[in-house]
A = this chain, B = another copy of it.
Amino acid sequence: MTSSAPSRLAMVPFVSVENMMRLVHHVGLRKMLVQLADAIESDFLRWETFDKTARVPSHSDVGVIELMPTSDGDFYGFKYVNGHPKNAAEGLQTVTAFGLLADVATGYPVLLSEMTVLTALRTAAMSALAAKHLAPKGAHTMAVIGNGAQSEFQSLAMAEIVGISTVRLYDIDPAATRKCARNLQGHGLTVTVCQSAEEAIEGAQIITTATADKKNSTVLSDNMVGAGVHLNAVGGDSPGKTELHRDILLRSSIFVEYPPQTRIEGEIQQLDPDHGVTELWKVLSGTEDGRTSQSQITLFDSVGFAIEDFSALRLVHAIALDAGFYTDLDLVADPDDSRDLFGMLMRAA
């Protein structure tokens, strides 16, 4: 080894998209969703350990790019994620993401990972974790309104973690519904293709909305939501991007991840800043009530919070390094003499 060759500390394990997909199949998709939900629950139960901040957005006319950092004092994690609803029409992903874990004690990165696939998984796992605590007992049917990239993951997570056996699909684009129905074949779910949102919600105890338009939409109007349902609102996650009519919110018990972020980004951006909401981690820890009656409408106003990505990165870090689903990246300069960065550079000539 010459003195300009990278040292072991200079190497950061990198999980590519290909390795992430291999990792998911190695674990098994349903088992991976369960492990993600468990990892998130475990971190939500030590919520107060984390350094929390609302994500840091950079908005443009066509989308947003965000950084989502957090730390538990031992590890630091952040995710880069974009949201560009118009991308779909151009054949691009609406959401792409990657993330990093670092050692708080040294500041050195310990994992770089793709997170487009991982975010889809953790978002579904988070929704299922919330529904496990909030949906009516014995829920068996879920409406899925918006059948894009998130829809199959939501369906399988709700099947595995909540016990859903039937999904009723609707999208304004029938091709999206056909794609979702086709993908869900062979996964043990009864799949019903519906022609309208009204039809999709018939007999559903859980209603998932996961649409992508960047505007204030009314995917559900007030008269569509009956007593006792659990609403899993995934698509409203940015200023000016909501899915539910305000009147629905006023009839619902609302559960959120991190209030300072959800008030900016979630469905509750439509409400007064002091409208009462419950932090989901308090329900998980038993210090606040979740669902208290069969007639109550519960709403998980999902926007996605940094701790969920942290949990996901920690899980991937453990599995990927153990099973070898990574490559080494020469990302950090680490000269023999730490003060001699210049010497390292000169010796590389």
Contacts and interface: CB of A to CB of B under 8 A. Distances in A.
Interface of A: 4, 6, 9-10, 14, 16-18, 21-22, 24-25, 29, 51, 53, 56, 58, 60, 62-65, 67, 69-71, 73, 76, 78, 80, 82-84, 87-88, 90-94, 96, 98, 100, 102, 104-109, 114, 116-117, 120, 147-149, 151-153, 176, 179, 183, 329-335, 337-346, 348-349
B96 A108 contact: yes
B22 A348 contact: yes
A115 to B, nearest CB: 9
19 contacts: A10-B17, A14-B329, A18-B348, A65-B71, A65-B104, A67-B78, A80-B109, A82-B106, A90-B338, A92-B334, A93-B332, A93-B333, A93-B334, A93-B335, A96-B332, A96-B333, A149-B340, A149-B341, A179-B343
Contacts of A9: 92
B78 A106 contact: no
A124 to B, nearest CB: 10
Main secondary structure of the interface of A (DSSP, over half): mixed
Nearest to A339: B148
A146 B341 CA distance: 14
B53 A340 contact: no
Nearest to A88: B338
